[in-house]
């Protein structure tokens, strides 16, 4: 299969109207937003689609809203494209979306945690902190500047390794302002981030301690695929590590550059940002020449992904693989049930797809049905397990490589 990663954005990617296009074209969106509204105690659809921008930018509202829209994006992607990833990763808050996508947490569990997380962080902020993005690859220089302006009660430190050319500083607003001024005197580009607190700094320690209590009440399940930790830039090995990682990321830097490098080393070819805007697409493009990043929030990217993974071609190639496989089973009853019947089902799927002009009720379900039919035919024809696996692999990679 094509080695794919799903990427989920964090705070700062929100905007009024986010998710509205996905909501309009996915039948399951209404139930998702109703569930979010019931748990949050306010109208999530109104918050995300209608504003106000000021309310949406408050941490206690931003985080539940972003989680809801990112989970919606992942469900729409599966519905329309139907290809699961090998890894998922999220930037800060986005890690909760990644855990939901993999099945480690239910949406309700994650939303409950994120609602508390946002409130804990908002309480810890108290107007004391700020964050800046710095256009530089000189990590030692930036670390030295932070040390120079660090004082008791007024910390400044690197809070994010976003890409090979962008680092983030967080801390007390006075210390961060001093770092920013010195950087600008050196001619280095500085962007003051539109966030309401000193995230991923020691000033978030009270929030981290409160969150740890909430996390201890949640059961983390085994995921369908690996989720990468912000704190280590490696896959979580078990539930205890997830719980520890979600606490650690409150006060430690986000290792996004290291995460992208790990994905590249693991052979990831394609990354899809599932959520609002294109922040992670851009950071991934800056950090790896190997990985092709797309943002599903951009219509052109969504169209490109549909072209790369065409559903009709998948059905056609599944039909061809089933029909052309050599047969070594001469039992007529087994052949009728295990070959003729699944081949008929795949032919019907292709006819239905053609008759509806490519309208897909559920691309993921359809791909699974085709795969199941092909596997049944190969087993019945007594094709070896190794060749069965290779045929399925070609089925999932063939259309992608042909359409590159």
Question: From the candidates 172, 200, 210, 287, which is the catalytic residue?
Answer: 200
Q: Which residue has the tokens 């986005």?
A: 94
Contact by Cβ (8 Å): 53, 128: no
Evaluate whether 376 touches 306 at the Cβ level (below 8 Å): no
Distance CA(211)–CA(215), nearest Å, equals: 6
Peptide bond into 52 cis (omega under 30): yes
CA distance 125 to 62: 15
Helix then strand then coil, in percent of the chain rounded to 5, is 55, 10, 30
End-to-end C-alpha distance for the chain, whole angstroms: 14
Which among 13, 60, 88, 92 is annotated as catalytic?
Answer: 92
Q: Measured between alpha carbons, how far is 331 from 84 in angstroms, rounded to an integer?
A: 36
Question: Alpha-carbon distance 123 to 5, whole Å?
Answer: 34
In sequence order, what are the beta bridge partners of 133? 168, 191
Q: Could you give phi then psi for residue 73, rounded to 5 degrees?
A: -60, -40
- Angle, alpha carbons 303-274-357 (nearest 5°): 30
Of all helices (H) and strands (E), which one includes residue 188? none
The 10 Å Cβ neighbour count of residue 105 is 25
Rounded CA separation 369/349 (Å)? 9
Please, are residues 370 and 315 in contact by the beta-carbon 8 Å criterion? yes
Distant-in-sequence, close-in-space partners of 385: CB < 8 Å, separation ≥ 6: none
Catalytic residue at 200?
A: yes
- Cα(370)–Cα(363) distance, integer angstroms: 11
Q: What are the residue numbers of the active site?
A: 92, 200
């Amino acid at each position: 299969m094509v080695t794919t990663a799903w990427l989920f954005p964090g705070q700062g990617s929100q905007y009024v109207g986010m998710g509205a296009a996905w909501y309009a074209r996915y039948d399951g969106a209404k139930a998702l937003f109703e569930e979010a509204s019931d748990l949050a105690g306010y109208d999530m659809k109104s918050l995300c689609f209608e504003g106000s921008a000021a309310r949406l930018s408050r941490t206690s509202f931003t985080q539940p809203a972003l989680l809801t829209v990112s989970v919606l994006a992942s469900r729409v992607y599966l519905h329309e494209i139907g290809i699961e990833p090998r890894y998922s990763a999220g930037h800060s808050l986005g890690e909760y979306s990644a855990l939901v996508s993999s099945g480690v947490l239910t949406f309700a569990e994650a939303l409950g945690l994120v609602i508390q997380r946002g409130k804990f962080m908002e309480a810890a902020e108290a107007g004391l902190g700020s964050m800046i993005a710095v256009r530089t690859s000189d990590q030692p220089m930036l670390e030295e500047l932070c040390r120079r302006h660090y004082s008791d009660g007024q910390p400044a430190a690197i809070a994010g390794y976003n890409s090979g050319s962008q680092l983030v500083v967080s801390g007390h607003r006075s210390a961060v302002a001093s770092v920013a001024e010195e950087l600008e005197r050196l001619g280095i580009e500085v962007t003051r981030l539109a966030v309401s607190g000193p995230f991923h700094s020691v000033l978030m320690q009270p929030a981290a301690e409160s969150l740890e209590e909430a996390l201890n009440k949640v059961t983390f399940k085994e995921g369908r695929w690996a989720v990468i930790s912000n704190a280590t830039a490696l896959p979580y090995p078990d539930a205890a590590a997830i719980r520890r990682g979600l606490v650690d990321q409150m006060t430690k830097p986000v290792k996004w550059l290291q995460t992208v490098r790990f994905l590249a080393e693991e052979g990831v070819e394609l990354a899809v940002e599932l959520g609002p805007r294109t922040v992670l697409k851009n950071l991934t493009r800056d950090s790896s020449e190997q990985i092709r990043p797309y943002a599903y929030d951009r219509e052109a990217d969504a169209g490109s992904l549909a072209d790369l993974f065409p559903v009709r071609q998948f059905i056609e190639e599944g039909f061809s693989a089933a029909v052309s496989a050599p047969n070594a089973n001469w039992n007529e009853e087994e052949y009728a049930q295990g070959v003729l019947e699944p081949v008929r089902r795949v032919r019907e799927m292709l006819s239905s797809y053609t008759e509806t002009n490519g309208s897909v009720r559920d691309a993921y379900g359809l791909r699974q049905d085709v795969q199941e039919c092909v596997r049944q035919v190969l087993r019945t024809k007594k094709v070896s397990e190794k060749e069965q696996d290779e045929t399925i692999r070609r089925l999932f990679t063939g259309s992608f490589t042909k359409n590159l």
